[in-house]
Structure 1
Amino acid sequence: MKKFFVWLFRLLCWIVMAGYLVAACSSYCKPSVYFFSEALALAYPIALILLFVVIVINVFVNRKLALLATVILFLGFGNLQRSFAFHPLAKVQRTHTDSSALRILTWNVYFFQNDHWLKHDTPNLPRRQMVEAIRKFNPDVLCFQEYLSYSNTNWNVNMNETFAEMGYKYQFFSNDKKFTVANGYSQLGTMILSKLPFIDTLRLPLHNTNTEHLEAVDVAFQQKPVRIFATHLASLGLYTDTEHTGLGSENIYELTYSRKRTVLRKLKTTGVEHEKESAIISRAINTSPNPAVFCADMNAGPCAYAYRVIRGNMQDAYIRRGFGFGQTYDALSPTLRIDVCLVDKRLEVTNCFVEKLHGLSDHFPVITDVQWKNNK
């Protein structure tokens, strides 16, 4: 019996090592060619954790196998350095008092949970708490995804005005969706708000089914122009078919076998959409006349093909200054970092952190400080 368990353990170790190697190829697999590309990207952090467990156990059980697993770990170095930040001693600066640094906040605000009714406008609302958190971080530029604001209505809070009163007078909307509401209108999409004046603006369609756009603004930071991009890539939408079924939140993620096939289909479809979007975004960044900062809800992890293409030669702010997986999506897995801030190498990342504000949006904000490299 003992021999059987030893054999089974070794078999599991080999399965984990083989699975890790396959998952490590995810960022090089075009979704239009390899339908499982997005699934591999999501699986890589889990495979990394399992491989690490294999290494630790075999240090005491089978050192040759531990050495082999360690070699395999570094064979996947590309995905490893994209997905896990190694700066445990980096100091997080939550307050913003350094005038030599430009602070940028990117956040999928999830429509502020649609808490826009004036008659329900109390201090403990998630929307109010989100605004106060932003006020505390005091960014110079805000990049919001799934932003919702109402204008010219007597019943709803106007978020554009709220942020203008906080000093974000310069605002550029992606113009994704606009609806008539009670003689006024609502805006839904990506929004860039800034305390610094805009020199120029840019809006490009991403050609997905949600008619989302890539938008950019040029701002003068210490008398030098910086181009800040913001967007929201196509959503995976794994659970949109259960939103109105009456299922409780406690079982919304329990998938039946028949729904697993739907999930795989959505992974493939979204991956192909991301491939198209990444080509448009990468071209826009590479042709930018000014150093670029790219902020987005990627709806894909850092091991995905789209992330590698978009990042190109840029720095990932969290990888430069963070520690760990840097979870930004408040569901499913603590390894999901799908919100990013990518920074041109002509700028130095001096600070970056994910603020885990549970119960507000389904995403966490990512706050990044950058400065010109010659301003040390």
Structure 2
Amino acid sequence: MSKLSFTNKIVYFLNTVVAVLLLLSYILPFLPPKTFSILAVLNLGVSFLIILNVVFFIYWLIKFKRKFMLSLTVLLIGYFGFGSLYKFSSAKNIEDSGNFKVMNYNVRLFNLYEWLPGTDVDAKIIDLIKTESPDILSLQEYHSREDVNLSFFKYKYEKLSGKKIKSGQAIYSQFPIINSGSIEFPNTSNNAIYADVVKGNDTIRVYNIHLESMRINTQVESLKKENSERLFNRISNTFKMQQFQTELFLMHKKQCDYKMIICGDFNNTAFSYVYKTIKGDLNDTFIQAGSGFGRTYHFKFFPIRIDFIFADQAFNVNGFKTYDNYYSDHYPITTTLSLKK
């Protein structure tokens, strides 16, 4: 440190803090939020911490200072332990006669309250779904109304709640649904539902999970107005609820012997305990076949991936796509799957 200027000493101190925080975040998927709720809040900033460490790495590299090793080491630990924030490889696009497409989309009530300007946002969402033509569609924050027409699907299961405005989740399918149901999460409007669909000679269990929301405004200006302690406590309590909801889901999932696909809005990142726990030995279809950041949530300053499609080992993951159509605060994702022969 003696060879560093006063300014660079400050920069290196900040670099050290950011590197340590990122290193701490790597152990978060292994720590139950009910026990370590304070640390769990770091989940939300992992993408930002990675980007900051890349900036520090480049800064020291340009300065020809060996201090770049600090951020480089922490970034490499994360890369080999958890994978990259950004997927540099090209997305898969494998043609197979058995391919079928699964889409997941938090549609934000089809813009019922006009969060986005324009009166045709709901129509654009429907047009997008119709154009992409998924065989299975998983929707969160779904609201059924006359001008939202998804009748081009042959089968559906929806679970709605609420007094004035009924909303919830839905699974639409071009394959027959022979069984369906709901996993009730207490004291919340969030929920998990499932549908058993028949494709050929196979029955596939499709789950649609919507874990507890942190209700964070996407605009940083709004976050500044909220008391930091209250915001921190709210996020901590949300993570505890997400863990409880995950435990309820896993108890239900354990009783199913069918081939399985799990879709949903987890309201948490791929560096979280709930992600690691729900994923288990399933394949994250973005990691298998996607590219880029895989951003699924509209946040102004850095990419956040909180919507997922998992598939078990019975499926080949032949494609994945993240869309940039801004019709909700979430972006839709699709994966192309085929059953292994």
TM-score normalised to structure 2 length: 0.89
Q: Contact (CA 8 Å) 1:229, 1:294: kept in 2 or not?
A: yes
Given candidates 53, 69, 72, the residue that maps to 2:71 is 69
Deviation track 1:250-283 (CA, whole Å, cap 9, x = no partner) reads 7852523x62122101111100000101112223
Are 2:317 and 1:369 equivalent residues in the alignment?
Answer: no
Moved more, 139-148 or 322-331: 322-331
User: How many pairs are equivalent?
Assistant: 336
Moved more, 273-282 or 199-208: 199-208
Map of 1:163 onto structure 2? 150
Given candidates 205, 228, 236, the residue that maps to 2:184 is 205
Opposite residue 148 of structure 1, the aligned amino acid is: H
Distance change >3 Å, CA 2–CA 51, structure 1 → 2: closer
Deviation track 1:310-337 (CA, whole Å, cap 9, x = no partner) reads 1111111111112232111113443211
1:50 to partner: Cα distance:
1.4
Tell me the SS of whatever aligns to 2:230. helix
Give me the whole-angstrom Cα distance separating, in 2, the residues matched to 1:70 and 1:251: 29
Distance change >3 Å, CA 129–CA 158, structure 1 → 2: closer
Q: Contact (CA 8 Å) 1:327, 1:335: kept in 2 or not?
A: yes
Q: Contact (CA 8 Å) 1:172, 1:192: kept in 2 or not?
A: yes
Tell me the SS of whatever aligns to 2:37. coil
Map of 2:277 onto structure 1? 309
Are 2:204 and 1:226 equivalent residues in the alignment?
Answer: yes
Map of 1:235 onto structure 2? 213
Give me the whole-angstrom Cα distance separating, in 2, the residues matched to 1:79 and 1:107: 29
Deviation track 1:309-366 (CA, whole Å, cap 9, x = no partner) reads 11111111111112232111113443211111111122111111111111x1111101
Opposite residue 326 of structure 1, the aligned amino acid is: G
Opposite residue 52 of structure 2, the aligned amino acid is: L
Unaligned runs of 5+ in 1: 117-122, 151-156, 181-185, 240-248
Give me the whole-angstrom Cα distance separating, in 1, the residues matched to 2:166 and 2:77: 46
Q: Contact (CA 8 Å) 2:99, 2:336: kept in 1 or not?
A: yes
Give me the whole-angstrom Cα distance separating, in 2, the residues matched to 1:332 and 1:341: 24
Tell me the SS of whatever aligns to 2:262. strand
Distance change >3 Å, CA 31–CA 333, structure 1 → 2: farther
Q: Contact (CA 8 Å) 1:299, 1:339: kept in 2 or not?
A: yes
Given candidates 110, 114, 123, the residue that maps to 2:108 is 110
Q: Contact (CA 8 Å) 1:102, 1:221: kept in 2 or not?
A: no
Q: Contact (CA 8 Å) 1:85, 1:319: kept in 2 or not?
A: no
Alignment of 1:122-141 (within 5 A): 125-141=120-136
Give me the whole-angstrom Cα distance separating, in 1, the residues matched to 2:133 and 2:167: 24
Unaligned runs of 5+ in 2: none
Tell me the SS of whatever aligns to 1:269. helix
Distance change >3 Å, CA 59–CA 251, structure 1 → 2: closer
Q: Contact (CA 8 Å) 2:216, 2:223: kept in 1 or not?
A: no
Distance change >3 Å, CA 264–CA 206, structure 1 → 2: same
Distance change >3 Å, CA 288–CA 74, structure 1 → 2: farther
Q: Contact (CA 8 Å) 2:92, 2:318: kept in 1 or not?
A: no
Distance change >3 Å, CA 91–CA 222, structure 1 → 2: same
Tell me the SS of whatever aligns to 1:128. helix
Q: Contact (CA 8 Å) 1:115, 1:127: kept in 2 or not?
A: no
Map of 2:173 onto structure 1? 194
Map of 2:222 onto structure 1? 253
Give me the whole-angstrom Cα distance separating, in 1, the residues matched to 2:97 and 2:46: 39
Distance change >3 Å, CA 37–CA 6, structure 1 → 2: closer
Map of 1:4 onto structure 2? 6
Tell me the SS of whatever aligns to 1:88. coil
TM-score normalised to structure 1 length: 0.81
Opposite residue 158 of structure 2, the aligned amino acid is: F
1:91 to partner: Cα distance:
4.8
Q: Contact (CA 8 Å) 2:86, 2:291: kept in 1 or not?
A: yes
Give me the whole-angstrom Cα distance separating, in 2, the residues matched to 1:62 and 1:80: 29
Deviation track 1:17-65 (CA, whole Å, cap 9, x = no partner) reads 2121112222222211112233211111111111122223333435643
Identity %: 21
Deviation track 1:155-182 (CA, whole Å, cap 9, x = no partner) reads xx253xx212x1x12111123x0546xx
Tell me the SS of whatever aligns to 2:91. coil
Tell me the SS of whatever aligns to 2:203. strand
1:138 to partner: Cα distance:
0.5
Map of 2:195 onto structure 1? 217
